Amino acid sequence: MKKFKRKYVFIVAVILLVFNNISLRYKIYFIGDQKEREQILNSTVWKLYKDGYHENEIRNVRVYYNPIKGGLLPYEVLVVFNKDPSKEYIYSWTDVNKKQKRVECVGDGASSF
């Protein structure tokens, strides 16, 4: 009877470990690194502040992570201003090595707002 219980405990433990492994890989692959997300978001908000934008002029700011792009710069920040809510501006790092911690507007596109 004890061998029977040990077998089920072992199977349950393996299933939990596999589920945990899958969920952590999903988080890393589709969401990305939280530290890098915060760095690019802080740098973009600081850049907008230095450019003279105030909080009431910005409609939405969100970090976009592209796992397919990968490489050195998979993160971009999408900014929508109140003056033109149909256009979304894309900010990304200026330095590939991210030593200067500066961002710039690299393009624009249609907004989902």
The pLDDT confidence band at residue 113, using thresholds 50, 70 and 90, is low
Q: Residue 71: what pLDDT?
A: 61
The pLDDT confidence band at residue 59, using thresholds 50, 70 and 90, is very high
Whether the pLDDT of residue 97 is over 80: the answer is: no
CB 109 within 8 A of CB 74: no
In this structure, how many other beta carbons lie within 10 angstroms of the beta carbon of residue 93? 24
| Phi then psi dihedrals of residue 52, to 5 deg | 100, 10
User: What average pLDDT does the chain have?
Assistant: 84
**How confident is the model over 15-28, as pLDDT tens digits?**
999 999 998 888 77
CB 47 within 8 A of CB 91: yes
Extract the tokens encoding 42.
């802080």
The pLDDT confidence band at residue 72, using thresholds 50, 70 and 90, is low
To which H or E segment does residue 49 belong? helix 34-50
For residue 8, with 0-12 CB atoms within 10 Å meaning exposed, 13-18 middle and 19 or more buried, which class applies?
exposed
Q: What average pLDDT score do residues 24-46 get? A: 83
Q: What average pLDDT score do residues 8-13 get? A: 92
Extract the tokens encoding 2.
């004890």
